[in-house]
Structure 1
Amino acid sequence: MTADQLLAAAGELGELLADTVDAGASIGFLAPLDRAAAVDWWRRRAPSLADGSLAVWAAYLDGEIVGTVSLVFPDKPNSRHRAELVKLMVHRAGRGRGLGRALLATAERAAAEAGVTLLSLDTETDSPAESLYRSAGWTRAGVIPDYARTPSGELHPTTIFYKHVLQHVRADCAGTSPARS
């Protein structure tokens, strides 16, 4: 997704963000999340997309955005081999169709194609998302107690995961070594 595409889709992405928070996912916001605030949050991501420090993908169902995932790329020279997976969301209307797993695979593949070898993420401990990451081959690094508030405001632990990604796509790349600019 480009910065212009994100700006054009900010309304749908804002609806997705608000729905995800309303459904109880701990993704950095408290409930109820105002739709206008959710749209504004997405609009403020456009400069990061434009400068390459953020990548965003969307999943569509019947022409509507029902899911998204993002990668955040560090700007420090000693950390350009890694990225953080953030804001994996699927609208309640799109759940149970494998969209979360497909978005995760898309981000992993894109990271590897960009020369990223290590991904990390954090997610609410004991959440459905934690089960998804485990089943997708992510490694649990540990748990931080009282790390974030749930949408209802309760402190909850977070589980940190990581995954080495380049080795999983080397066969697809036939020995090439893609680089991210």
Structure 2
Amino acid sequence: MPTSVVRQLVVQPISVEAFRPFGQVIFASPDGARFGPDDAQLCLDRGIPRFYIMRLHQRGRQFSRITRHRQCTQCLGSLEGKDWLIAVAPPSELDQPELEAIAAFHIPGTCFIKLNLGTWHAGPYFDQDTVDFYNLELSDTNLIDHQTHDFRQSHGIQFELVG
């Protein structure tokens, strides 16, 4: 494995405005509220939707690989109110995200995120031993719609989420 330089990404608190280039932040709404722009604007019409709970084990806060899905939006949220982190970059026509466009967010366990079509993402990351996440995507997303870029191979760097 090639050696790499570690580039730190400062984690910022998530907000609707800060996350807009990457997707949506979805907070609780009153029961019976009508569908509107604050609800997840989903694109799941290119296959069979899959909603499942995935159990992830703690793997630190460093990454060199970042992935995107161009055929569907993806929703992620933690169960049990656990906070977590994610790194993202906006969708683009390039085969890799722009280094300067990568941002990192702290996501409280009181909301979930919807990633726009083609949003690059690395994570979820967290400090607990394990966290269960609900995940909404297509049933074959990880088989046919999973483009990954490795910055260690292309640029000799990896990222570390700090803060």
Name the TM-score, length of structure 2 as normaliser.
Answer: 0.26
Comparing both structures, which one devotes a greater share of its residues to helix?
1
Say which structure is richer in strand.
2
